[in-house]
Amino acid sequence: MNEFFGKNIQWKILSIILAISLWLVVINIENPEETMTFTIPVTLENIEEITSRYNLVISNMEEIENKTISVSIRGKRLTLEELKDNKRYLDVITATADLELFRYTSADQVNKIPIVVSFSDDYKGVIFEERNQIRYLDVVLEEIKTVSKPIQVDTIGAAKDGYVILESTVNPSEITITGAESLINSIDSVKVEVDVTNISTDKKEYNIEPKIYDSEGKEISNLEKNIEGVEVDISVGKKRIVSLQPKIEGSYAEGYVLTGIKIEPEEITVVGSEEVVDDLNQVELSTIIFEDLDTTTTFKPDIILPSGVIRWDDTSTKVSVTIEVKKEIVKEFKIPTSRLTISTKMQFRYITDEVTLYIQGIEDEVNKITENMIVGSIDVLDYDEGKYTVPVEFSIPKGFKQVGETPMVEIELINSEDQKEDEEVLSEYEENNNENSEENKEEEIIDNKEEE
């Protein structure tokens, strides 16, 4: 390679120049005819005319507004190359469709608009090979229709944990839409999108473009809107779980007592401004009023919420409060003194066989109490010998009340020595009594034998 450029370099460059020049001369002398294909955009004419004059609109504009056709041009090579250079052919070759040539049809029916191809006078030597072929632009024309639609706010994302979107308002709230009747009839909604990801305070968005959608959620274009942007206000609230506090004003029938209050639900979730909700621990209910209540009853009081606070977990503004009442009775129990426990250092004997106890409570529950569940005791630890009437202390099941006079029992305390002497005398007596019985039996046997 170095030897090629190193020797006679001048002659070699001259040879290349001469070869190129010779080729150009041949081309210019011969300049053969060729055929080239060009892509030409179709220009729509009189669009405004059919709208203003005939109150029509093109409903398939998306399909035809960027329509192109391919044309085959025959001519001298150099002429065609000149056209091709820098896309000069776009200024020389034109394709137009005059929309005033329409024949009006109903929606979805096609108007065949002829496409006219023309050339600049500067290029008379070129030939349009498909000049005898008529091409058409398929245009669908419809009556223009105008409607007004409300603008909805479509939020994407989720607010910060513990916060919720309370309200979304848009200004203006309505939009006027004009376009082809079939497109207008297919409108399902108009929405603006706002991203609320991790939002925790009120937010305002400006100049958001409303978008038009059909029933399948597809965006509809080629419709004229009277506004291009709207303002959206997003109101954010904080959630909190609070307990419910009932207010009760009432009386119970004679012999009946309150046994329980059941609130359902006991807690609700509320939402409001952070300042209000943070100080809210419980929510009051409207006052429950009754008189001489003698049966368990469920009331439906209203939930009283502070201004600006709403219930979030349910739409109901009421809750159930059940006031449980039951009949209370007094039941008599006879407790044998033999079952009492006693605190004493002396011997004793009960003079009273049993004591009477009265227990008050709910009828169903009192009737479940048995004597075995009642424990009674007396304390005569510091007493001397003798007879006494002392109180009995009873331990009764939880939830019940002892009523009436304090039960009393009569008891005799006996000195241990005296009791021992008494026991010896009694033993001797019993012994003598047994001996006499044996002698009597023997005498009876002898008498019986003598009689025999």
Helix axes 77-84, 9-30, angle to 10 degrees: 100
Please give the share of the chain, as a percent, with pLDDT higher than 70: 85
Model pTM score? 0.56
Does 367 share its domain with 408? yes
Does 117 share its domain with 150? no
Last residue in a domain, options 327, 357, 392: 327
Q: What angle do CA 13, 17, 19 make, to 5 degrees?
A: 115
Q: What's the mean pLDDT in 240-261? A: 93
Let me know if residue 431 belongs to a domain.
no
Does 383 share its domain with 354? yes
Let me know if residue 425 belongs to a domain.
no
**What are the tokens at 182?**
């079939």
Highest mean pLDDT among 84-88, 167-171, 444-448: 167-171
Buried-state track 377-389, b at ≥16 Cβ within 10 A, e below 16: ebebeebeeeebe
Does 67 share its domain with 108? yes
- Answer yes or no: are the C-beta atoms of 237 and 272 closer than 8 Å: yes
- Answer yes or no: are the C-beta atoms of 399 and 363 closer than 8 Å: no
Let me know if residue 438 belongs to a domain.
no
- Does the pLDDT value for residue 210 go beyond 70? yes
Let me know if residue 442 belongs to a domain.
no
**What are the tokens at 41?**
């955009």
Query: What's the Rg (C-alpha) of the chain?
Result: 57
Q: What's the mean pLDDT in 32-39? A: 86
Q: What confidence score (pLDDT) does residue 437 get?
A: 54
- Does the pLDDT value for residue 429 go beyond 90? no
Measured in whole angstroms, the distance separating CA 121 from the mean position of its chain's CA atoms is 73
CB neighbourhood size of 84 (10 A)? 13
Buried-state track 348-376, b at ≥16 Cβ within 10 A, e below 16: bebeeebbebebbbbeeebeebeeeebeb
Determine the Cα–Cα distance for residues 372 and 42; give it in Å rounded to an integer: 109
Determine the Cα–Cα distance for residues 178 and 16; give it in Å rounded to an integer: 68
pLDDT in tens, 371-422: 888 999 999 999 999 999 999 999 988 889 999 999 999 999 998 665 555 5
For the chain, give the mean pLDDT: 86
Burial of 28 (0-12, 13-18, 19+ CB in 10 A): exposed
Q: Which amino acid is at 82?
A: E
Determine the Cα–Cα distance for residues 335 and 355; give it in Å rounded to an integer: 5
The residue that leads in pLDDT, 332 or 81, is: 332
Does 320 share its domain with 346? no
- CB neighbour list of residue 19: distance below 8 Å, 6 or more residues apart: none
CATH code of residue 309: 2.170.120.40
- CB neighbour list of residue 215: distance below 8 Å, 6 or more residues apart: 186, 188
- Answer yes or no: are the C-beta atoms of 386 and 418 closer than 8 Å: no
Q: What confidence score (pLDDT) does residue 153 get?
A: 94
pLDDT in tens, 162-180: 999 988 999 999 999 999 8
Q: What's the mean pLDDT in 107-134? A: 77
Does 40 share its domain with 133? yes
Let me know if residue 247 belongs to a domain.
yes
Let me know if residue 450 belongs to a domain.
no
Determine the Cα–Cα distance for residues 282 and 278; give it in Å rounded to an integer: 11
Does 80 share its domain with 17? no
Determine the Cα–Cα distance for residues 422 and 287; give it in Å rounded to an integer: 75
Beta bridge pairs of residue 376: 394
Does 256 share its domain with 309? yes
Q: What confidence score (pLDDT) does residue 423 get?
A: 52
Determine the Cα–Cα distance for residues 374 and 366; give it in Å rounded to an integer: 12
**What are the tokens at 413?**
């305390």
Domain that holds residue 259: 240-327
pLDDT in tens, 125-141: 677 776 667 889 999 88
Does 152 share its domain with 231? yes
Least confident of 3-17, 142-156, 264-278, 357-371: 3-17
- The residue to which tokens 């409607």 are assigned: 147
Does 54 share its domain with 126? yes
Confidence band for 56, pLDDT divided at 50, 70 and 90 = confident
Q: What's the mean pLDDT in 297-312? A: 94
Q: What confidence score (pLDDT) does residue 154 get?
A: 93
Q: What's the mean pLDDT in 361-365? A: 91
Measured in whole angstroms, the distance separating CA 173 from the mean position of its chain's CA atoms is 27
Last residue in a domain, options 273, 297, 327: 327
Determine the Cα–Cα distance for residues 207 and 232; give it in Å rounded to an integer: 8
Q: What confidence score (pLDDT) does residue 175 get?
A: 97
Confidence band for 76, pLDDT divided at 50, 70 and 90 = confident
Residue 11, sorted as left (phi over 0), alpha (psi -120 to 50) or beta, turns out to be alpha
Q: What confidence score (pLDDT) does residue 425 get?
A: 47
* Phi/psi of residue 178, nearest 5 degrees: -125, 140
Is the omega angle on the peptide bond into residue 265 within 30 degrees of 0, that is, cis? yes
- Answer yes or no: are the C-beta atoms of 346 and 415 closer than 8 Å: yes
CATH code of residue 366: 2.170.120.30
Q: What confidence score (pLDDT) does residue 54 get?
A: 86
Determine the Cα–Cα distance for residues 243 and 278; give it in Å rounded to an integer: 14
End-to-end CA distance of the chain: 176
Does 62 share its domain with 129? yes
Measured in whole angstroms, the distance separating CA 9 from the mean position of its chain's CA atoms is 87
Let me know if residue 356 belongs to a domain.
yes
- Does the pLDDT value for residue 29 go beyond 80? no
- Does the pLDDT value for residue 347 go beyond 80? yes
Let me know if residue 441 belongs to a domain.
no
Helix (H) or strand (E) holding 173: none
Q: What confidence score (pLDDT) does residue 452 get?
A: 44
Does 251 share its domain with 294? yes
| Count of structural domains, the chain | 5
Confidence band for 85, pLDDT divided at 50, 70 and 90 = confident
Last residue in a domain, options 180, 207, 237: 237
Q: What's the mean pLDDT in 110-130? A: 80
Confidence band for 324, pLDDT divided at 50, 70 and 90 = very high
- Answer yes or no: are the C-beta atoms of 238 and 168 closer than 8 Å: no
Determine the Cα–Cα distance for residues 412 and 384; give it in Å rounded to an integer: 10
Please give the share of the chain, as a percent, with pLDDT higher than 90: 55
Confidence band for 190, pLDDT divided at 50, 70 and 90 = very high
